[in-house]
A and B are shown apart, each in its own frame.
Chain A
């Protein structure tokens, strides 16, 4: 089955710092790739997605590029804010499957 490896957290940054959260995956076929975000006390919500190789998903200043050759989908943001403090989940979805595999999540803490 599919699997996903995310960098362990917590990732602690100062406001306006550059963020990278690494995600690598194994999946069959040509998966779609997702990042979900969970703010404190809430359920997960979709942050961005990419459905084919070299696609870049983007939302709220976050970006991630579908790298088929390295089976990676790293999340980046150029300047984080305190309000970005949350847990981030990488989730590949294999072709032919309709249930994504969620990573263990990476906690991000941004200090003023």
Chain B
């Protein structure tokens, strides 16, 4: 089925470790996004890529980096994980421009101990 695929689904890290969350979409969407979801906080935008070759900071970018590897893939990297980064991470994509209906992946549940 077409959609947004995130890997891994679950991950436990120790404080200070690094890791990369992977996201790929097969809908030929131009724009891709990374969100984190925390209890009582809703969704908060970390980074987004309006089109291939561009990335921009969202609401909560500190501690994260992103790479838009190609049109399909948009990865999120934690260079030195902290307990405050324990969260559920969602990748989403859209056609971009004024076609702004999002398609979300099923999420990565990350725990930093």
Q: Please give the distance in Å from A40's CB to the nearest CB on chain B.
A: 11
Q: Please, how many residues of chain A have a CB less than 8 angstroms from a CB on the other chain?
A: 19
Cα-based distance from A46 to B94 in the complex (angstroms): 12
Give a binary string over B81-111; 1 marks a CB under 8 Å from any A CB, 0 the rest.
0000000001010101110111111110000
Cα-based distance from A34 to B106 in the complex (angstroms): 19
CB-based contact B107/A104 at 8 Å: no
Q: Which of B15-60 contact A (CB under 8 A)?
A: 31, 33, 35, 40-43, 45, 48, 50, 58
- Answer whether residue B66 sits at the interface, using C-beta atoms and an 8 A cutoff: no
Knowing A49-B101, A89-B42, A104-B40, say if A99 contacts B92 (CB, 8 Å). no
Cα-based distance from A100 to B59 in the complex (angstroms): 12
CB-based contact A44/B104 at 8 Å: yes
Of the listed residues A34, A99, A105, the one surrounded by the most CB atoms of chain B closer than 10 A to its CB is: A99
Give a binary string over A47-80; 1 marks a CB under 8 Å from any B CB, 0 the rest.
0010000000000000000000000000000000
CB-based contact B106/A102 at 8 Å: no
Partner of B41 from the list A36, A93, A104 (CB cut-off 8 Å) is A104
Report the interface size class on chain B: 20 to 34
Chain A residues near B90 (CB, 8 Å)? Answer: 43-44
CB-based contact B42/A93 at 8 Å: no
Cα-based distance from A41 to B94 in the complex (angstroms): 21
Knowing A98-B96, A103-B42, A104-B41, say if A46 contacts B101 (CB, 8 Å). yes
Give a binary string over A68-112; 1 marks a CB under 8 Å from any B CB, 0 the rest.
000000000000000000000100010000111011110000000
CB-based contact B100/A100 at 8 Å: yes
In the assembled complex, 30 residue pairs joining A and B whose CB atoms fall closer than 8 Å, in A order, are: A34-B101, A41-B106, A42-B106, A43-B4, A43-B90, A43-B92, A43-B106, A43-B107, A44-B43, A44-B90, A45-B103, A46-B101, A46-B102, A49-B101, A89-B42, A98-B31, A98-B94, A98-B97, A98-B100, A99-B58, A99-B100, A100-B100, A100-B102, A102-B35, A102-B42, A104-B40, A104-B41, A104-B42, A105-B42, A105-B43
